[in-house]
Amino acid sequence: MKRTKITLLALASVLLFSCTAQQNTTSTTQQQAAQNSQNSIDRFADIEVLRYDVPGWNDLTLKEKSYVYYLSQAGYAGRDIIWDQNYKNNLTIRRALEHIYTTYSGDKSTADWQNFEIYLKRVWFANGIHHHYSNEKMKPAFSRVYFEQLLKETKTPLSSEVADVLFNDKDNKKVNLDLSKGLLEGSAVNFYGEGVTADEADSYYANMKSPDPERPLSTGLNSKLVKENGKLTEKVWKSGGMYGAAIDKIIYWLDKARTVTENQKQADALALLIAYYKTGDLKSWDDYNIAWVNATEGNIDYNNGFIEVYSDPLGHKGSYESVVQIKDFDMSKKMEVLSKQAQWFEDNSPLLPQHKKKNVVGVSYKTVIVASESGDSSPSTPIGVNLPNADWIRAEHGSKSISLGNIIDAYDKAAGSGRLKEFVNDEEELRLAQKYGELASKLHTALHEVVGHASGQINPGVGTPKETLKSYASTMEEGRADLVGLYFLYSPKLQELGLVDDWKAVGMEAYDSYIRNGLMTQLVRLDPGADIEEAHMRNRQWVSAWVFEKGRKDNVIEKLTRNGKTYFNITDYAKLHELFGELLRETQRIKSEGDYNAAKNLVENYGVKVDQAIHKEVLARNAKYSEAPYRGFVNPYITPVAGTNGKVTDYVLKYPKTFAEQMLQYAKDYSFLPDHN
């Protein structure tokens, strides 16, 4: 999938995509502030947890609500999978921490206990002991001695070896992209067994030929690669295989969902998804994706499976996720115009002629209302999604692009304007951001998902990006989609289509916010001295840094210093538009030709290293703001209401009072896997 995720600073400019997208910071009225206060569930460390509303829920029929309920239960059933995928000891640690939390009867007013609570909440939010965004291991603020006391007083079993991991430097990075440390040797993610090297894994999958080379299977997507008796073998995630107990529960609820689908195409797609989960067969996964992308009618849709490969440094393994959504009819109608114009955008893109698609097919775009999220999509969530991920399916059958409307709205309501005022260059930049920021963000998300990920084609005989571009594939794809959006955001075509009333002003705001975020504000997510490793952060920096450098001769973007503070000011938006087009053409060439060395040079030279002076300055300027850098969500409880005869007559939405309440409820209801798998 191509997905778009969001953080508070990214709200200064919505742009991550599954891709993951970011969103512009807008001014917050007193009414919005009050609503945000009601929607805020918890705040700890660098996290704020919100609730999202589900407008239109009561307009659904009982059958539609049942469909949402069953799909949501299927999503939650696989929750433990993402924990185990993220790190081999995560389930053991989570259960130990939860047992302490629910049984400890000692003094809970101490700083040590409060630090324990904060650590547990951070682990819940990240689906493991590594930070959800930086991938760094999160160290407790309480001592090992205090932890031993908690274990003893609550009679919580936990081996010393596992307890040590919380405090030592072992398995410090969930996903390591520093080649010098070894992509697998330096990564704690649980996709590969002990002793498996990157070269061995690459060779293993390179020798795994698909029956149809023109339609390659997503090899390695749904398995753990391990060594048994010195020989590499896959532990497939399927019924009867690895994660089988949870997958059987997923299948149970998907079977129920099949009985209440809105149409036959939905039922057929679910049948293929069930077959895939039963067998683990990757041809069934492709068949399902084709059926799913063609099931465009109906009010309810979903994502479910092993989908995004961001957490695999080699780009093979899919993290488990689920999103269940309801169509937002009003916004979908407004944005449908982009889907209908997909061929125009392709024809008028700056790509080399041989890299353009002659026939862009089946790109559907909807704004949706999220009803539930699980796995890799929760509590930290994408705001935009484009699926399926297989390039050949997208070329032959099309794709679905969605914008998670109620999630974006919840982020907007939670955003403040303080940071924006701190980092904009002047009053005009601030005015444009406040007037057009939200619109520019939504359009960039839509263009990134609908046009960006659907654009371009790979040359005949060239392998898939995970084979050719390897560890750089994800950031190159996200940067490519970002560039498509940036190129067309500064275009009168948007006004011609009725999407904006002033295309130039919207485009200027989009460029201001992207450069500001790519060169400065996103750095608040990094610790001092750190390199950039997250794929989306890398792409935003390499895109911004490349155009900044290439525009130096003409002073397209000037770097200013006032009162010891750095600002970036765009002096020539038309020239910057040309530079974005030039970089887009080269990025597509790299993908189309599978040019690994060019991808490596682009990312390593522009996207990894951080200007430490600017980083130090940004952290200092940001320190005075109290807003959390990261936000995520609790889900509503979709609760059946039974009549006197015991039959369900309705489903109502209820919300947890606290973040801890929901996490403990999920642990109670959806713990289907053993500690180690």
Q: How confident is the model at residue 205 (pLDDT cuts 50, 70, 90)?
A: very high
Least confident residue range of 70-84, 133-147, 524-538: 524-538
Element (H, E) at 602: helix 596-603
DSSP-based three-state secondary structure for 4: strand
- Residue 438 is predicted with a pLDDT of 85
Least confident residue range of 228-232, 333-337, 590-594: 333-337
What gap in Å lies between CA 52 and CA 407, rounded to an integer?
6
What gap in Å lies between CA 494 and CA 478, rounded to an integer?
22
Strand 300-308, strand 319-327: pairing: antiparallel
What gap in Å lies between CA 667 and CA 647, rounded to an integer?
27
- Residue 24 is predicted with a pLDDT of 32
- Residue 67 is predicted with a pLDDT of 98
Burial class (CB in 10 A: 0-12, 13-18, 19+), 56: middle
- Residue 416 is predicted with a pLDDT of 63
Alpha-carbon 206 to chain mean position: 27
DSSP-based three-state secondary structure for 208: coil
Q: Tell which wins on pLDDT, 14 or 658.
A: 658
Look up tokens 């067994």; give the residue.
Answer: 193
- Residue 581 is predicted with a pLDDT of 98
Those residues with Cβ within 8 angstroms of residue 262's Cβ, 6 or more apart along the chain or in another chain: 63, 64, 67, 297, 298, 299, 300
- Residue 4 is predicted with a pLDDT of 54
Q: Is the pLDDT of residue 415 over 80?
A: no
The predicted-structure confidence for 490-519, as pLDDT tens digits, reads as follows 999 999 999 999 999 999 999 999 999 999
Q: Is the pLDDT of residue 568 over 60?
A: yes
- Residue 30 is predicted with a pLDDT of 37
Tell me the average pLDDT across 527-549.
Answer: 94
What gap in Å lies between CA 407 and CA 458, rounded to an integer?
33
- Residue 423 is predicted with a pLDDT of 96
- Residue 366 is predicted with a pLDDT of 82
DSSP secondary structure of 541-574: HHHHHHHHHHTTTTTSEEEEEETTEEEEEES-HH
- Residue 89 is predicted with a pLDDT of 98
Q: Tell which wins on pLDDT, 385 or 655.
A: 655
Tell me the average pLDDT across 226-248.
Answer: 97
pTM over 0.75? The answer is: yes
The CA-atom distances, in angstroms, between 673 and each of 241, 545, 661, 666 are 12, 45, 21, 13
What gap in Å lies between CA 568 and CA 617, rounded to an integer?
14
Strand 557-562, strand 399-404: pairing: unpaired
Residue 372 backbone class (left: φ over 0; alpha: ψ -120 to 50; beta: rest): beta
Query: What is the DSSP secondary structure assignment for residue 449, as one 8-state letter?
Result: I
Tell me the average pLDDT across 652-677.
Answer: 97
Alpha-helical runs (H) found in 140-197: 144-153, 160-165
Those residues with Cβ within 8 angstroms of residue 633's Cβ, 6 or more apart along the chain or in another chain: 49, 50, 51, 52, 373, 378, 379, 381, 407, 410
Q: Is the pLDDT of residue 363 over 80?
A: no
Indicate where the chain has its CATH 3.30.540.30 domain(s). 2-58+242-626
Q: How confident is the model at residue 409 (pLDDT cuts 50, 70, 90)?
A: confident
Average pLDDT, the chain: 92
Q: Is the pLDDT of residue 235 over 80?
A: yes
Cβ pair 307, 1 in contact under 8 A: yes
Q: Is the pLDDT of residue 38 over 70?
A: no
Q: Two tokens at 155? A: 């009679």
Q: Is the pLDDT of residue 39 over 70?
A: yes
Element (H, E) at 649: strand 648-654
Cβ pair 68, 300 in contact under 8 A: yes
Q: Which of 334, 352, 478 is nearest to 17 (CA)?
A: 478
Q: Tell which wins on pLDDT, 188 or 454.
A: 188
The predicted-structure confidence for 257-272, as pLDDT tens digits, reads as follows 999 999 999 999 999 9
- Residue 27 is predicted with a pLDDT of 30
Q: How confident is the model at residue 3 (pLDDT cuts 50, 70, 90)?
A: low
Tell me which fold the domain 2-58+242-626 belongs to. Answer: Fructose-1,6-Bisphosphatase; Chain A, domain 1 (3.30.540)
The predicted-structure confidence for 367-398, as pLDDT tens digits, reads as follows 899 999 999 999 999 888 889 999 999 999 99
Tell me the average pLDDT across 431-452.
Answer: 90
- Residue 329 is predicted with a pLDDT of 75
Q: Two tokens at 645? A: 């005869």
- Sheet of 319-327, strands arranged across: 2-5, 382-387, 399-404, 363-375, 319-327, 300-308
Q: Which of 465, 566, 577 is nearest to 514 (CA)?
A: 577
The 3-state secondary structure of 249-261 reads HHHHHHHHHHCCC
- Residue 479 is predicted with a pLDDT of 97
